[in-house]
Amino acid sequence: MHIRAHSAECVEEQVSMSGTETKTEVFTVTEMGEPAAERGTKRTHFFELWVQPCLAELFGTSLFVFVGCASVIGNMGATGVTQPAVAHGLALGVLITLFAQISGGHFNPAVSLSVYLCGGMQLPLLLPYVLVQMFGGLIGAGLTKVMFPSNVYAASFGGAFDIADTADLGKTTLAEAVMTLFLTTVVCMGAVNDQTRSPLAPFCIGLTVTANIFAGGMLSGACMNPARAFGPAVFANHWSFHWIYWVGPTCGALLTVSFIRLLLGDQKTRVVLK
């Protein structure tokens, strides 16, 4: 999305038959055209630069959290995490493919934070992104509560995260940080860093989420996303150790930024050894 200003100069030279006289006329076209067209262009670009990306993040986060919560509720009684892992990964990959060209397809405050700190988005969009992602988490979790029977919903805490082993919360927080580090590294290296950017980034990000849930789903739930944790926690009123799903992903995102800005990023992204 770029605002383009167009200017043109038309030069007409008329030379007499004897070649001794030259007449030059210069016509300059104004940059923005007529006032009405200018107003329309400004409104259009304001919508595409600021409003539409936030709407895409709201819509995408709502669908992602809905699918995530529904997959956990539907997996009640199962011994493995195959259903939530595949559902989260597929939903995220599809949504990023659809909305990446509008908003970047973050759907996750930790991802937005890492993308901004790696130079992939503007600061004025960071807070609106986080707010609409949290609201999208509420919408997705609310839809889940409406659709599922109350007894099934209550038994699964509405898809909210529940830590099985509370003996060592430090290890659980570390697990969330490492899994978010993996996720945000794939996002920033695959979609932001020019040297490693790939059209397969949506597919890779979805696979990363799936792999992380297989790896850490039985330990912390493999959240990696405060918006995914917040929505069902509100509707199920289940706040047990909820802080882990903010501290862990935030630390993981900051670690990613440190590695990319100092070591792994291209010359434009690195802050040292340029």
* pLDDT number for residue 44: 84
Q: What is the pLDDT of residues 168-223, one digit of tens each?
A: 899 999 999 999 999 999 999 999 999 999 999 999 999 999 999 999 999 999 99
* pLDDT number for residue 16: 40
Enumerate domains of the chain plus CATH numbers: 53-264 (1.20.1080.10)
pTM equals: 0.85
Mean pLDDT of the chain: 88
* pLDDT number for residue 35: 60
* Closest by CA position to 104, among listed 56, 144, 151, 142: 56
* Closest by CA position to 59, among listed 144, 141, 147, 133: 133
3-state DSSP assignment of residue 217: coil
pLDDT at 58 over 80: yes
* pLDDT number for residue 38: 63
C-alpha–C-alpha distance, residues 129 and 44, integer Å: 20
Q: What is the pLDDT of residues 224-271, one digit of tens each?
A: 999 999 999 999 999 999 999 999 999 999 999 999 999 999 999 999
* Closest by CA position to 71, among listed 260, 196, 228: 228
3-class SS letters over 153-184: HHHCHHHCCCCCCCCCHHHHHHHHHHHHHHHH
For the chain, what percent of residues have pLDDT higher than 90? Answer: 78
C-alpha–C-alpha distance, residues 158 and 149, integer Å: 10
Answer with the residue of higher pLDDT: 10 or 86.
86
